[in-house]
Amino acid sequence: MTDLSTRLVQANAELAHLKQHVDAACSAVKAKCLHDGKLDAKLFDNWQLPSYELAFCMAEISAATAFNNYALDLSHEEFSQKLSLSFCAETMLTVVNRLSARAADIAVDRDEILQVYSREVFKGLLDDFASTEFLSVLGKEIAENEIQRLPSTLEEEKELVRETFYRFANDVVMPLAEHIHRNDEDIPDLILQPAAELGCFGTCIPERFGGLQPDDRPDSLGMIVVTEELSRGSLGAAGSLITRPEIAARALLGGGSQAQQEKWLPRLAAGEMLCAISITEPNTGSDVAAVSLKAIPAKNGWLLNGSKTWCTFAGRSELLVVLARTNPDVELGHKGLSLFLIEKPAYAGHRFRHEQQDGGSLTGNAIATIGYRGMHSYDLFFEDYFVPAVNLVGEEDGEGKGFYYTMAGFAGGRIQTAARATGLMQAAFERALAYSKERRVFGAAIADYQLTQVKLCRMLATLTAARQFSYAVAELMDQGAGQMEASLVKLFSCRAAETLSREAMQIHGGMGYAEESAVSRLFVDARVLSIFEGAEEVLAIKVIARELVEQAV
């Protein structure tokens, strides 16, 4: 092993040591939240801030570990290994600060936490890889050599796919992205048609249904690679094209009947039918179990009545996947929910109304947003809207199982959102790097200044950590695991995208605040990532921290 490889192994050991402190903190929270031997939800709500911080600690440790593991595979790439060590050192500082700040809250020993600073390996990592000089030297190398991304470890087939969609983003998406954003227009067929021809919509659909995923195994990595490059082109105009068919496909594959799979999946894979996912309601947010849209039994089907919100791409889509309450007993919670497939015409623009022959109607109004334009998000109102019984996912066997089918889709949606964040970060970094070399201030290029060099170093390190973390989680998910990790990588990557896009805008100075600069679009687009597919707070507290605390000993 090289010296740097040895340091990476040591760094992973220090991250594992920090994780022990996180585990101990989770145990301390658990002890305060037990009632009759079980975790009490009301008591747990009294520890939201510590839980929130613990979730981020685990996400950051996991991201740094994934980066280190990637760098260990590149023993001949000194720069990659140095960048990973710099990210790891700064991450360790962040985690220690989070833990020590909350020590009094959860009655853990702050002095014990701070003792990590006296560990020789820990001190060595900070001194050698987190110093101003070290970070600025890496940043200078990034600027001088125009290093936009670290070496790929993808297999040849995946790298070919990545390059194909990289060119598609450059040649097709980017020339249209600013116009779509500034005018809040629909995604044009100029993007949709060639995307469909490239197989974009079939990345998560098995080959037997016309998709790109092998029949004998899942391929989450392929989906991630495509999503990254599409999102690099534009989050709103391309990056989310895969999300909705992926969630729909996972739901159908998880609970749909054979007839339903054969009817819907080939059309989704070919891009012949665009789809939208309608889960959120005005008063529920991320609390999926509280869905109240009524589905009332009718002859040969169901009548839907009520409202939905934040249904992205609802206008242009011909298929809506809708979660509704088929059992009126609210005490059943998520057990009273079912998932429906609704066919409708495609509508352009910001509002639509679909009236059925028997009097039912579905109305949609786009919600004005600061970013993520192109895939307009809609408020929906159903009034006696008829859905045939055969369009209940799983048909008779699927009644009351809609929550589980939805969750099956959301796990993939979370890792896919992490990939969207990475793609956006890649775009922001590329623009920041180019501008830093062009723009001169006080007689020198911005890239020649120490602080800019440190920023470039941290930006490339962060987006690489997010990328490698998502790759690692994809492998876990394809092995039937990785549910927790999918939430962790979303939490880390989406927050990172906000920070990185801000730094990209800052490097641009005043031009970064101008609409004519692409980084202004990237900045407002990044803001949505921590909100959809599981809001950051809900994901951190109700999903990640809850599971960490429940599993603590």
Which positions are annotated as active-site residues?
533
Distance, first Cα to last Cα, the chain: 36
Name the β-bridge partners of 307. Answer: 381
401-410 core/surface letters (b: 16 or more CB in 10 A; e: else): bbbbbbbbbb
User: E strand or H helix at 318, and its extent?
Assistant: none
DSSP state of 481: -
- Separation of alpha carbons 179 and 200, rounded Å: 22
- Separation of alpha carbons 232 and 299, rounded Å: 48
| Tokens (6 digits) for 242 | 């895969």
Residue 167 CB coordination number (10 Å): 11
Q: Where are the beta strands (DSSP E) in 262-411?
A: 275-278, 294-298, 301-312, 319-325, 337-343, 351-355, 361-366, 377-388
| Tokens (6 digits) for 399 | 């009644």
Name the β-bridge partners of 304. Answer: 295, 385
Query: What's the half-sphere exposure (Cβ side, CA atoms, 13 Å) at 367?
Result: 16
Return all residues near 283 (Cβ < 8 A) that are at least 6 apart.
290, 292
Reduced DSSP (H G I as helix, E B as strand, rest coil) percent helix, strand, coil of the chain, to 5? 65, 10, 25
Return all residues near 156 (Cβ < 8 A) that are at least 6 apart.
none
Pair 203, 246: CB distance under 8 Å: yes
